């Protein structure tokens, strides 16, 4: 008997020559992050990378869009844009209002098959100078910064010991991070508040003060150095020694000079650091023409410790030899500056020995007291000159400057960074530092014209 013939029918062709729907798999969709923060009216908010695929289909045939939102007052589906036609797309959200919403991101493939993912989105309020502002996500407590070259900067956080490398022109997450806690032998926060770079070395200092409850925390007494290799996005840091005796050295020096600034009393157990007569370092920069003598800029105390008192700088004449060395600190003559009753929040020098000082209150009420930028030549006895009052209508305290341009050049601009740790960014009563997702934590940078 002859075998039965089996007829093999060709696949039914769809328009464009595609195979039947039965040959297509279910599309896949992944998001580079499940959490995203934006700001109302922002320029260049962070984006999300969306990766899609479908077996049996070209990725160019897949469409990606937002299909649902849980709170349209924060962001509507039409506020989500997706760019690209390959398997990797870029998703952006334009915030409508402050708060949180969950956005359903849907990929539609051939054969009508779909898949979805949820993007948890948070939007903060509009800010003044929004076109000149960017957001550094992953941390809300920026406290010190230095230029890394190639359009990047390294930023410290006073709530952790993590150093973060950011693209200074774009909003988004750090390019890379470093935590040298183990190498430095610390287990608690250093409360990093100041930084200065000389050549391929960046020096960092803790606040040297007590915590906000007046408790003495030894890890806050740490000064350390990092060695820089590479630049820009390829920057790498390595630990290069530390020193934990600077606080004690300062107290001993002040005692030997008649307790002129009350360091011992301001640093005593039970004393909060952010008082007019407290003890708290926030600025660090090297003296004019020097790579060994550094200026310590104090947030507290004022000199004298009364309303309208002057800001205090103490030169440390052997600062560069402290990390990894065995010598105690030595000091030069203190410098007192009239900053209109404000104290030092950051201090930065450029190659021409021009200084810019971020001046703010010694108090902890970051969003209500004045802030200003002052120009100075770094010389004792020379008066600083105010160049700009910084806006205080938005959340966050002005805290850091990575570098400064030639201050004599017309149109010179400087990028100033806020500490937003205490800010209620999303209108729910939660301080940014206490948010559960790092992608929702952020500090703000704004460019200001200073000449």
Half-sphere exposure of 58 (CA within 13 A, CB side): 7
pLDDT of residue 106: 98
**Which tokens sit at 125?**
């309020």
DSSP string, 199-249: TTEEEEEE--S--TTS---GGGG-EEEEEEES-GGG-EEEEEEEE--HHHH
pLDDT in tens, 23-78: 899 999 999 999 999 999 999 999 999 999 999 999 999 999 999 999 999 999 99
Q: 136 and 118: one domain? A: no
Same domain, 120 and 135: no
With bands split at pLDDT 50, 70 and 90, how would you rate the model's confidence at 368? confident
- The domain in which residue 275 lies consists of 130-449
Q: For residue 414, give both structure tokens.
A: 């400087």
Residue whose structure tokens are 């870029």? 90
Residue 10 has pLDDT above 60, yes or no: no
For residues 125 and 98, is the Cβ–Cβ distance under 8 A?
yes
Is the pLDDT assigned to residue 15 strictly greater than 80? Answer: no
Cα–Cα dist 261/249, whole Å: 14
Nearest C-alpha neighbor of 16 from the set 114, 111, 113 = 111
Of 41, 35, 21, which is closest to residue 435 (Cα–Cα)?
35
Minimum mean pLDDT range among 98-102, 317-321, 392-396, 440-444: 392-396
CATH at 75: 2.60.40.1080
Residues 101 and 167 grouped into a single domain: no
Model confidence at 9, in pLDDT bands (50, 70, 90)? very low
- Same structural domain, 112 and 136: no
CB 79 within 8 A of CB 95: yes
Cα first-last separation, the chain:
101
Q: Are 331 and 267 spatial neighbours (Cβ–Cβ below 8 Å)?
A: no
pLDDT, tens only, 386-420: 999 999 999 999 999 999 999 999 999 999 999 99
Does residue 1 belong to any structural domain of this protein? no
User: Looking at residue 390, which CATH number applies to its domain?
Assistant: 2.115.10
- Domain end: 124, 148, 172, which one? 124
Contact yes or no for 123/426 (Cβ under 8 A): yes
Considering the domain architecture, whether residues 160 and 265 belong to the same structural domain is answered as yes
Q: Are residues 325 and 423 in the same domain?
A: yes
User: Looking at the structure, do residues 70 and 210 belong to the same domain, yes or no?
Assistant: no
- Choose the final residue of a domain: 124, 152, 176: 124
CA-to-CA dists, residue 243 to 194, 230, 371, angstroms: 15, 25, 31
User: Considering 75, 96, 124, which residue would you say is the last residue of a domain?
Assistant: 124
Cβ burial of 339 (10 Å; 0-12, 13-18, 19+) is buried
% of the chain residues with pLDDT over 90: 93
State the average pLDDT for the chain: 94
pLDDT of residue 369: 87
Q: Are residues 430 and 335 in the same domain?
A: yes
Q: Give the DSSP H/E element, type plus range, for residue 51.
A: strand 48-53
Quick one: DSSP state of residue 43? S
């Amino acid at each position: 008997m002859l075998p039965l013939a089996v007829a093999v029918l060709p696949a039914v062709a769809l328009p464009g020559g595609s195979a039947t729907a039965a040959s297509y798999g279910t599309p896949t969709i992944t998001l580079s992050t499940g959490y995203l923060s934006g700001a109302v009216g922002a320029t260049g908010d962070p984006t999300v990378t969306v990766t899609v695929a479908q077996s049996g289909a070209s990725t160019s045939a897949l469409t990606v869009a937002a299909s649902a939102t849980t709170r349209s007052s924060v962001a509507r589906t039409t506020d989500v844009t997706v760019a690209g036609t390959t398997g990797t797309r870029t998703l952006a959200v334009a915030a409508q209002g402050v708060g949180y919403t969950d956005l359903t991101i849907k990929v539609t493939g051939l054969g009508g098959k779909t898949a979805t993912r949820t993007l948890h989105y948070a939007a903060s309020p509009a800010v003044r100078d929004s076109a000149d502002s960017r957001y550094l996500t992953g941390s809300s407590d920026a406290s010190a910064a230095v230029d890394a070259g190639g359009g990047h900067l390294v930023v410290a956080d006073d709530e952790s010991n993590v150093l973060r490398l950011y693209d200074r022109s774009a909003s988004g997450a750090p390019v890379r991070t470093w935590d040298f806690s183990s190498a430095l032998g610390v287990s608690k926060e250093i409360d990093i508040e100041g930084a200065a770079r000389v050549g391929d070395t960046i020096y960092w200092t803790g606040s040297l003060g007590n915590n906000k409850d007046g408790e003495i925390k030894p890890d806050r007494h740490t000064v350390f150095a990092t060695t820089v290799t590479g630049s820009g996005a390829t920057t790498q840091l390595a630990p290069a020694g530390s020193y934990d005796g600077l606080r004690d050295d300062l107290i001993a020096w002040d005692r030997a000079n008649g307790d002129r600034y009350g360091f011992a009393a301001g640093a005593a157990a039970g004393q909060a650091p952010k008082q007019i007569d407290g003890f708290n370092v926030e600025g660090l920069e090297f003296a004019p023409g020097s790579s060994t003598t550094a200026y310590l800029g104090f947030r507290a105390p004022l000199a004298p410790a009364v309303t309208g008192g002057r800001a205090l700088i103490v030169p440390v004449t052997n600062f560069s030899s402290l990390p990894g060395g065995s010598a105690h600190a030595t000091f030069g003559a203190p410098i007192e500056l009239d900053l209109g009753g404000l104290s030092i929040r950051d201090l930065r020098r450029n190659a021409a020995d021009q200084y810019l000082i971020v001046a703010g209150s010694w108090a902890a009420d970051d969003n209500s007291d004045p802030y200003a930028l002052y120009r100075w030549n770094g010389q004792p006895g020379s008066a600083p000159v105010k160049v700009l009052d910084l806006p205080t209508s938005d959340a966050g305290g002005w805290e850091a400057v990575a570098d400064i341009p030639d201050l004599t050049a017309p149109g010179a601009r400087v990028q100033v960074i806020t500490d937003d740790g205490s800010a209620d960014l999303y209108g729910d009563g939660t301080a940014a530092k206490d948010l559960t997702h790092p992608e929702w934590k952020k500090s703000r940078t704004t460019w200001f014209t200073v000449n």
